[in-house]
Structure formats: structure tokens, C-alpha cells
Amino acid sequence: MATEVRVPTLGESVTEATVATWFKKPGDQVAVDDMLCELETDKVTVEVPSPVAGTLAEIVAAEGATVNAEALLAQINEGAAASAPAAATPAESTAAPAAQTIAVMVPVLGESVSEATVSTWYKAPGDTVAQDEMLCELETDKVSVEVPAPAAGVLGQILAAEGSTVQAGGQLAVIGGEISSAATPAQASVSAAAANSHDVEDAPSAKKLMSEAGLSRDEVTASGKGNRVMKQDVQKALAATQAATQAAAAPQAAPIPPATPIRAAVSTDDAAREERVKMTRLRQTIARRLKDSQNTAAMLTTYNEVDMTEVMALRNEYKDLFLKKHGVKLGFMSFFTVACCHALREVPEVNSEIDGADIVYKNFVHMGIAAGTPTGLVVPVIRDADSMSFAEIEKAIAEKGARARDGKLSMAEMQGGTFTISNGGVYGSLMSSPILNPPQSGILGMHKIQDRPMAINGEVVIRPMMYLALSYDHRVVDGKGAVTFLVRVKEALEDPRRLLMDL
């Protein structure tokens, strides 16, 4: 039976690729997931694995050929490689039974998350693992996901190395089977190619560019697999050559001021001391969402200040009793959460979102509490915060804050928020303009409590003051509603008894 090998999905807006290198030739036996060839697009290099075990019968698209998405690359005759174990004699079968293998798969990543990056492997091929022992950690654009061992055994083969991108439901590794220093057939092919770079064909686009520019292969530093020269390598070499030519010609064109060589030396020294680190998926998502928020919403910020005297006095009076009864400390966040829920009932548009041509009003408050973590900002959500007590809110904030710092938050715990509170005061911020957390229409920024002289009843007194900032989407929230919301929060915090009387 013949199985077709076709061009895989190349990515958004990419319709064609060039066949860069074939690692197998007709007649070679291949295993499942054995790397057959490598395709080169204008953006990335794509590896094509074997979908079945068997014998490579025919290569339809030769090296250098341009192929479209889903085009036929080759054909594999199934059975030769797959049936080899079955051809063993009964004596051999009795003496050496095949080891059972268990696949380690990418777990469910969460709603709307289709891929992840392999962050860290905690085990190496040949290591003994216990069931549920953590094998590796995946990083999505929202959370880190731990992958436990599905069964006890020996880690045999790692199919997705650190830094590689894996799809939901894809295979990460194999537990059981033979342990070989060659790791995988694909890795063996690449290692052999790297050992003898002359056996590796450079990318067709790179060869063409080198020919046009008159560059030899020795003048280009290869970055592709198996010491393969890629198109971008040639482009870098050309840029370096051009820069060197310009530098050599510069003294003849004009005298160089004495300061120039010094600046050049300092610049080179600075470059040597720089560190380039790839952005994590979480950081990339934070950057994208914040910029999307600015581009989408008509964002505006209104400010006010609140006298924290009454809240601080109430907290100091009851914090010991509160801790003794509820087992959690009484902080300021519960006061602000309750005050915001109170204000949102009066100004519901701040607790709404725009969906196309509709405004969706939320008759509940799922409060997002922004939390800084070592890997970036996350916003765990406290659901139905408007129906919770002070103690329930404090417990929820403490529990989710700890899970956020440990990277243990699930996708569900960070979705569905209707309003957000961000406390920059814990870092010493005196005033700032928070950015909306889409698709929400409002976010409250808390800041540092600072003693300031205030005019109270005609006298100057020192009071603990905090600036408040409400950023809102002006498309759905008018200035009157935004100011009213912030005033209600201010009133509730300056006289917490209003919360008990629903005033």
C-alpha cells in the first residue's frame, strides 16, 4: 500500500516553499516521524516527517523545486519497515519480546490555545521515571503547563527538544523502547550531515544568492541544520562585506574626527557585553494585547484621590480578630474590591464590553486582580466577587496570588473577567495610567499611600492619601459615568460604613 507524503501547513499567508534537502533517497527504509526532507519558505524552515513506516518508493519533488501547500512530495510503500519485527523467527520472538512503549503527548492547553513551546526537559533519555513524575514544562502565551509521566518506566526518546513548538495533542516523547545514543533516525541523519558538511546541500535560494553575489561558500557562516547555508546566512555575509567596504573607504572620503574611533570601540565593547534573550510567549502575548488595547479602545483616564484614614483605622482595629477568625490577613484589596463592586452597580457601563455593534452589560462582577510574577503580568479572576464577603475575597486573592507566582494558574482562572484592579502602589508607584484589559471597559489603578498636607475644615492636616486612576473605554463609558464611578469608590473608602448601608 502506498502512502502519499504531502507539503504540511506552511503557516498563515504562506502558500509555497522550496524543497531544500532530502535526507532519504528512494529505496531507503523509514520509520514513523523519521525526517524525510526540509522545506524552506520566505519565513521559516519546515521539516517533513514520515507519516508511516515503510520504504521510500518515489520522490516527486526534487531538491530546488517550488511546491505549493498540500502538494505531493513523495510516496512511501508501507510494510517493509513496519513488518520487519513480524519476520523474526519464533525463537527470536520468545527470546526478545518487543518492549512496550507509551507515548507522552501534549496535554490540553486550554481554550483557544493551539500550540506551546517546550520550555524545559527535567529528564533525559535513559532516565527512570515514576508515574506522574514531571517530565517537562511547556510554555503557552498565557500559562506554563507541566507534563507528568503517564506511566512508570524509562524515558526512551525525546521527540520535541527544548525551544521547539508543539501543537495541542502532539507527541513529546516515548517511555520505553530501546535507548540509543543516536536518539532518533532524524537526529542521526542530521548528525551525520554535520560531521561531513560537504555531503549537505545548501538551500537552493542560498546557492542562487551566492552565485549572483560572487560569494564562495567559505565566506558564509552556515546556521542551518547539518552546517547548511541558508538564505539569511548569505544576506548576513553580504551585509558584513558591504559594511567592511564602507569602513575601508571612509578614511579616503573624509578625515575621521578623533572621537569617532573611540565611539566605535565603545560601541563594539558594549555589543560584546549585551545579552539577547528571546521573548517568552507570555511576554509576547502581554505586548501584543496591550498594544491591541491601545489600537482598539478609545482609552481615556480620569483621576481622583482618596483619604485612606478610615480604612487604615478600621483595618488596624480588626486585623488581629480577622486573622484569628478567618485565617487570612485583612488587606486593602478587599476594601477596594467591595467598593468597586458597589460602584459598578450604580455605573453598569463600566462593567460592560463591546461586541460588534452591541454593548453587553454584565449583571455580575468577575473581578480581575492584576499580579506581577517573575515571568510577567497575569490577571487571575475572582468570580462573582460582588456576592463575596471580605474574608472570602481576601482568601481568594491570597490563593490566586500564590498560584500566579508559582506559575500554577489554569487557563480558566484567567478568563472571563469583567473589570480589573491593578495595584502599582506595592512597587512604589505614586501615579500612573493603567491600560485596559480587553474586552473590558474599565480598570482601576491603585497607588502608593503617602502622607500629604490636606485642607480639612479650614485646617491643614497630614493625611494618608492615595491617587486613584480609572482608565475606561470612551466608546461605551461617558465622562460622567467614569467620574461618577471613581467618586463612588472614593466615598466608600473614605467612609466604609456606606458599604454596609448600600449608599
Strand partners, 3: 76
Strand partners, 174: 103, 157
Question: Residue 284's closest CA among 141, 93, 496, 427?
Answer: 141
Q: How far apart are CA 357 and CA 100, in angstroms?
A: 57
Distances in Å between the Cα of 295 and the Cα atoms of 288, 298, 379, 473 are 10, 8, 21, 12
Going 395 to 400 to 403 to 405, the CA torsion angle's sign is negative
Question: Residue 366's closest CA among 349, 377, 351, 346?
Answer: 351
Q: HEC string of 57-91?
A: EEECCCCCCEEECCCEEEEEEECCCCCCHHHCCHH
Question: Residue 346's closest CA among 500, 482, 493, 495?
Answer: 482
Among the listed residues 127, 326, 474, 495, the single catalytic one is 474
At 393, the amino acid letter reads I
Question: Residue 142's closest CA among 431, 381, 492, 490?
Answer: 381
Q: How far apart are CA 53 and CA 81, in angstroms?
A: 6
Q: Are 44 and 164 in contact (CB under 8 A)?
A: no
Question: 3-class SS at 149?
Answer: coil
Helices 309-326 and 390-405 cross at an angle (nearest 10°) of: 80
Among the listed residues 42, 292, 384, 478, the single catalytic one is 478
DSSP-assigned letter for residue 383: T
270 is catalytic: no
At 433, the amino acid letter reads S
Q: How far apart are CA 201 and CA 23, in angstroms?
A: 10
502 is catalytic: no
Sequence-distant (6+) residues with CB within 8 A of 136 are: 118, 119, 120, 121, 122, 123, 146, 147, 172, 173
- Cell numbers for 467, please give them: 491617587
Q: Are 472 and 480 in contact (CB under 8 A)?
A: no
Q: How far apart are CA 170 and CA 184, in angstroms?
A: 17
Enumerate the active-site residues.
474, 478
